[in-house]
Amino acid sequence: MCIWLIQKIQIKKLFLEKSDPNNSNESKDKKDAGDEKIPPPPPLGNKLEINFMINDTLERIEYKQRQINIIEQKIKAFTENKIHINWLIHDLEALVKCIKDCPLKWLKDFGDQIWELEQVYAFALDDNKKEFSEGDISKINNILTQMNLLVATYQSKYL
């Protein structure tokens, strides 16, 4: 986040230097030397547009970070038996769909894990199980481990 703030400051300084002909020592010297008109610098867009682009990018990053944090919270809530597996599956599917500009490979990999989780749950329902078997619990734990690894990968590579 600090990098974005530094870039924002640098862009603002660049914009102000380019848009203010009185701010440049060269233009003052040229004005004093003669009556030649110095063409204005090329337009960079107005200050509002630049701020909007920077703020938009920062907001997207913060939004993605919030979605990833919620995914982590949902997985943790399930492991602490605070939510049912059905809600976990539903919430994870919805949260992943909300992340914009996400790499397709990551989406596919995370979606595959949700699908695996859904299959374990569907087979348990089909067998009329009231509780998961040891094998099911082992599969679920492996899936949740993979999900946590994918979340950590997303945070380190894409945020």
Top pLDDT among 26 and 62 is at 62
Top pLDDT among 25 and 135 is at 135
Residue-wise pLDDT for 40-68, tens only, equals: 655 655 555 555 566 668 888 889 999 99
- Reading phi first (left if > 0) and then psi (alpha if -120 to 50, else beta), residue 128 is in left
Amino acid at 100: K
Q: How far is CA 6 from the centre of its chain?
A: 19
Q: How far is CA 117 from the centre of its chain?
A: 24
First CA to last CA across the chain, in angstroms? 9
pLDDT of residue 46: 59
Average pLDDT in the 5-11 region? 55
pLDDT of residue 50: 58
Alpha helices in the chain (DSSP H): 2-19, 25-33, 47-79, 85-98, 104-126, 134-158
- pTM score above 0.85: no
Q: Which of 62, 150, 74 is nearest to 106 (CA)?
A: 150
Residue-wise pLDDT for 95-146, tens only, equals: 999 887 889 999 999 999 999 999 999 999 999 999 999 999 999 999 999 9
